Structure 1
């Protein structure tokens, strides 16, 4: 393929590290401000959205299941976000305080995350598709409504995790957002966990903004890329890169998850993970809802027959995958031309993440209790069973068993 015929997708897939495009020219001629907070206020009018509410005054991890959710319109969020004196709000602002059960954005944050564009803009698919022409960038199987929208106030964040499927393209529509990205090689340093369980998400136990180095000593040596996205920027997040994301101000972004040929392997591992967790549910009398994210239906997860169906479907999909030679990789800056305009694609560099002042945050009393306790809980046991290394071993064993069964069947037919 000649350099001049390459699409943005072709170029970006050559990278094995995150890349930043600081430009508005990728979507040249398109008015993305229609998806800004004020644009959404006009587009969505009185449409209710689900907002997760968290505290800005705590250093604790705020898992999704521990955050209350409220129903509010974009207009009500904008009113609330504009409160300068939480003790003397206007009548409209006071109403927004009541709806969110939160005094103001200095103490709380609100996040409408994981919103599928096709759901948010139902009956306006043509409008969204014309506004976000992914096909023109080489994503020929993607339309504008295939993206996901994230709207949040300052402090709203997504805990550190990696997505098991594909890679990620992020467009910052308005405001600014900090991304802290760790390579797959840092997985052990990030203490991966599948509790809480969410399909296709592997979480880190580390509190990225306030790490406890006594509890997670390996994190001290972790290296990361830190990127601040501003309006018009595009970020490429490669497959299996960990990321912690935080709004620095009222912010809107849209992302696109893109499949890869390696996803067939991941579907098998995800099926195994779901089956292991689902098999445990019936044996636990007081199942803790915090062990799954709110997006998962616990009854569905506990349905072993359904999980076995997923498992066998993933095995069948694997049998049809053909191995291709790896794509060429570069970590050098490249210039991509769109509509005759040069666009710089800038790979990001890794640097040690934990700052010198990072310290042990565990009180001495808790240290003693922790060292004295030493007992394993059901949660601990389940975390070990679903650790990515263990899941990979199980998935490989399943493949070997199935291959052996197939060989036996072939021999019996001869």
Structure 2
């Protein structure tokens, strides 16, 4: 446990949902598919690739009907392509209300965790999310069906972060965890990671700012909850400043790949820029990290007790330590990235480093 009492290491609970969420565990994959609202947008990628496929590099298919998805799902297309229904709001993606089946309160999570924001994921074998960390809150992941593998790294590990293409709340790694290049990214050599195999009924607690790469080993279904923290106020300041800086860098630029597709509408809005400016001007006060961490522990005191109690009494609950070395290639195995050719890439990433943002925020406080 951390000094403040809030866990700063991942926890893995095996089969804990058998008692806590028994009804939804009786559903099979076909049950989930039959209750999903279509049409919807999905992501697809190639199974044959030995490299991670960035979200900007895979295909996004809009308005997929249930008939079309089931045709893909049950055909030989699955032999060479993967499909991902991802980031869907668990409250609105189903044809009927299943909120009673997703009882987060039984995991001792307070209403402050925003149950309504839970996300639903269904992916076939090979579907994956590139290595990244989330800027806000901690993550509680519930595996409902199938097998999903998580690779986790300490927040302090040097995995060469990048904000490009920019997506609020997400910081991506330039290191391909599937096939890491020791020549281009020497700092990744010898890094230790945690590998967690999530199966039906398992729960995973991912602390704030932990790097993670996630892949479906077989068709898998899960829900997760990103739980907001009082200490997110500091990260919200940094994200607002990051967006303002990026607006200036990309003003008049035709380089659309600097911005993630999900952010294009926001960056085109002058009104949104005003909101960010107002937010920064109102939040210039110096936020004390220690005080905010104490608030984190107060808001989630019951969840902390839940983790401690299970660690002491439940043989299927484990606090995880990085113990597997990331194997890097001695030869360059990096794929060419169009962003590498963008002259703004290094400039923007250097300006958006954590220490630069902290210095800028400090100056905002001093001149207010």
TM-score by length of 1: 0.75
Task: Show the counterpart of 1:109.
Answer: 82
Q: Aligned Cα RMSD in Å?
A: 3.1
Does the aligned pair in 1 maintain the 2:183–2:329 contact within 8 Å?
no
Q: CA deviation at 1:143?
A: 6.2
Task: Show the counterpart of 2:11.
Answer: 19
Does the aligned pair in 1 maintain the 2:17–2:203 contact within 8 Å?
no
Distance 1:397 1:139, change over 3 A: same
Does the aligned pair in 2 maintain the 1:129–1:143 contact within 8 Å?
no
Provide the C-alpha distance between the structure 1 equivalents of 2:318 and 2:214, rounded to a whole number of angstroms: 19
Q: 2:29 aligns with which of 37, 44, 47?
A: 37
Distance 1:75 1:247, change over 3 A: farther
Q: 1:162 aligns with which of 133, 136, 143?
A: 133
Q: 2:48 aligns with which of 33, 39, 57?
A: 57
Provide the C-alpha distance between the structure 2 equivalents of 1:262 and 1:291, rounded to a whole number of angstroms: 28
Secondary structure of the equivalent of 1:65? Answer: coil
Distance 1:18 1:322, change over 3 A: closer
Task: Show the counterpart of 1:397.
Answer: 363
Task: Show the counterpart of 2:142.
Answer: 171
Provide the C-alpha distance between the structure 2 equivalents of 1:324 and 1:63, rounded to a whole number of angstroms: 33
Task: Show the counterpart of 1:139.
Answer: 109
1:336 aligns with 2:310: yes
1:292 aligns with 2:292: no
**Structure 1: segments with no counterpart, 5+ residues:** 1-12, 87-103, 367-373, 403-414
Provide the C-alpha distance between the structure 2 equivalents of 1:282 and 1:64, rounded to a whole number of angstroms: 24
Q: CA deviation at 1:218?
A: 0.4
Does the aligned pair in 2 maintain the 1:301–1:307 contact within 8 Å?
no
Task: Show the counterpart of 1:379.
Answer: 345
Write out per-residue CA displacement over residues 48-78 of structure 1, whole angstroms, 9 at most, x where no aligned residue: 1211111122234422222222232456434
Does the aligned pair in 1 maintain the 2:231–2:293 contact within 8 Å?
no
Q: 1:201 aligns with which of 152, 164, 170?
A: 170
* Structure with the larger RCO, 1 or 2 (CA within 8 Å, 6+ apart): 2
Q: 1:121 aligns with which of 94, 100, 113?
A: 94
1:354 aligns with 2:326: yes
Provide the C-alpha distance between the structure 1 equivalents of 2:19 and 2:278, rounded to a whole number of angstroms: 41
Q: CA deviation at 1:137?
A: 2.5
Task: Show the counterpart of 1:28.
Answer: 20
Q: CA deviation at 1:243?
A: 0.3
Provide the C-alpha distance between the structure 2 equivalents of 1:143 and 1:382, rounded to a whole number of angstroms: 33
Write out per-residue CA displacement over residues 175-215 of structure 1, whole angstroms, 9 at most, x where no aligned residue: 111100001110xx200011110111111001110111111
Q: CA deviation at 1:283?
A: 4.2
Q: CA deviation at 1:386?
A: 1.6
1:192 aligns with 2:183: no
Q: 1:66 aligns with which of 57, 63, 77?
A: 57
**Structure 2: segments with no counterpart, 5+ residues:** none
Distance 1:37 1:145, change over 3 A: farther
Distance 1:47 1:316, change over 3 A: farther
Q: CA deviation at 1:325?
A: 4.3
TM-score by length of 2: 0.84
1:312 aligns with 2:276: no
Task: Show the counterpart of 1:235.
Answer: 204
Provide the C-alpha distance between the structure 1 equivalents of 2:200 and 2:252, rounded to a whole number of angstroms: 49
